[in-house]
């Protein structure tokens, strides 16, 4: 193994971790926003109205 591998391999691994961190944080933020939209769009529970007999 050449000396270049001691710099190349860790730098590529670090680059992969950084890209994964960025993509993961974006996905988590999108999922959180979708959950908030889902909660806000659901109407609150209303008591049932009695039927006229």
pTM score, whole prediction = 0.63
- Tell me: pLDDT of 44 over 80: no
Better-predicted residue by pLDDT, 33 or 43: 33
The CA-atom distances, in angstroms, between 27 and each of 1, 13, 31, 47 are: 38, 21, 6, 37
Q: What is the mean pLDDT of residues 6-24?
A: 96
Structure-model confidence comparison of residues 40 and 13, the more confident one: 13
């Amino acid at each position: 193994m050449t000396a270049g591998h001691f710099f190349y391999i860790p730098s590529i691994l670090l680059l992969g971790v950084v890209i994964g961190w960025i993509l993961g944080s974006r996905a988590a933020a999108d999922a959180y926003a979708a959950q908030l939209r889902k909660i806000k769009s659901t109407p609150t529970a209303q008591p049932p109205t009695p039927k006229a007999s």
